[in-house]
């Protein structure tokens, strides 16, 4: 893996895209995890405005501390980096109360996704206010393998600078970019729950296992080709991948036959 070439390539790609879009730079939501740390560090290296937002919603203190320490490091090292903290807890709790009704209890997963969508709304507010692009933080296995993101939440972005990199490759970039050991060593989590839930606990497999399964699936192999833990991981990957197709595939458009519209098809 040519790490420095990859970094230069992504930084150049981001800069070119922003200039073509006549955008002043990027806004990034900083979670305290490795993906947002890497993306913000790459955006900062473009020399364009990079607005880092921490967007807590009843956030675990460790996550918030890592996010704020990373932002502080970027502010120290890059004159083009700006930051803002926007506590969305009250907004979320207002929605939580408003959406409640007696006949049915809250759907915990739906509420978790509301958090991601509130953050997306906030990122786009500041992006439009300052002429910035929303930089996504999804990696390849999350975005195109198991669909481990919220539709129109963290999946709602303008550019995806690390979506062609596997999670293990993102960690290599993180070290090269000087991302702190605290972030690199923290268990990956989506930060959408009151009680901290790791990605592995939610999906049932580690990122290296899912990357292996993704490669096997792309080679046309199914769970029946393996035994033991490998068979189990393949089954997990395939189940998650099937369930996420509505997120991974483009939005389906119902095409109307031209004659129904009174259009001459010849």
Per-residue pLDDT tens digits of the chain, which is 266 residues long: 999 999 999 999 999 999 999 999 999 999 999 999 999 999 999 999 999 999 999 988 999 999 999 999 999 999 999 999 999 999 999 999 988 776 777 889 999 999 999 999 999 999 999 999 999 999 999 999 999 999 999 999 999 999 999 999 999 999 999 999 999 999 999 888 888 889 999 999 999 999 999 999 999 999 999 999 999 999 999 999 999 999 999 999 999 999 999 877 55
The three-point CA angle 240-58-147 to 5° equals 15
Asked if residue 173 lies in contact with residue 7, where contact means CB atoms within 8 angstroms, the answer is yes
For tokens 């967007």, name the residue: 55
pLDDT at 104: 74
CATH superfamily, with its number, for domain 3-199: HUPs (3.40.50.620)
pLDDT at 265: 55
Instruction: Return the CA Rg of the chain.
Output: 20
Domain boundaries, the chain: 3-199, 204-251
pLDDT at 182: 96
pLDDT at 148: 92
Q: Which helix (H) or strand (E) holds 132?
A: strand 132-134
Question: And the tokens for 248?
Answer: 């991974």
pLDDT at 135: 98
Whether this model's pTM surpasses 0.85: yes
Nearest partner of 153 among 189, 183, 111, judged by Cα: 111
């Amino acid at each position: 893996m040519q790490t420095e070439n990859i970094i230069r390539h992504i930084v150049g790609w981001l800069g070119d895209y922003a200039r073509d879009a006549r955008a002043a730079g990027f806004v990034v939501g900083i979670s305290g995890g490795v993906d947002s740390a890497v993306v913000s560090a790459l955006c900062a290296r473009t020399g364009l405005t990079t607005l880092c937002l921490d967007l807590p919603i009843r956030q675990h203190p460790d996550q918030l501390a890592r996010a704020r320490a990373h932002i502080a490091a970027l502010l120290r090292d890059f004159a083009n980096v700006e930051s803002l903290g926007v506590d969305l807890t009250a907004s979320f709790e207002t929605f939580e109360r408003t959406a409640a009704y007696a006949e049915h209890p809250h759907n915990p997963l739906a509420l978790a996704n509301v958090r991601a969508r509130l953050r997306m709304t906030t990122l786009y507010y500041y992006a439009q206010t300052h002429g910035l692009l929303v930089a996504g933080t999804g990696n390849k296995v999350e975005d195109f393998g198991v669909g481990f993101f919220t539709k129109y939440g963290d999946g709602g972005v303008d550019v995806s600078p690390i979506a062609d990199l596997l999670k293990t490759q993102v960690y290599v970039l993180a070290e090269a970019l000087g991302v702190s050991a605290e972030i690199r060593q923290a268990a990956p989590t989506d930060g959408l729950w009151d009680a901290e839930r790791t990605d592995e606990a939610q999906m049932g497999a580690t990122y290296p296992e899912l990357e292996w399964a993704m490669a096997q699936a792309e080679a046309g192999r199914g769970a029946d080709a393996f035994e033991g833990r490998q068979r189990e991981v393949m089954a997990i990957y395939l189940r998650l991948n099937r369930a996420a197709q509505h997120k991974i595939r483009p939005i389906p458009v119902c095409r109307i036959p031209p004659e129904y519209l009174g259009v001459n098809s010849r």
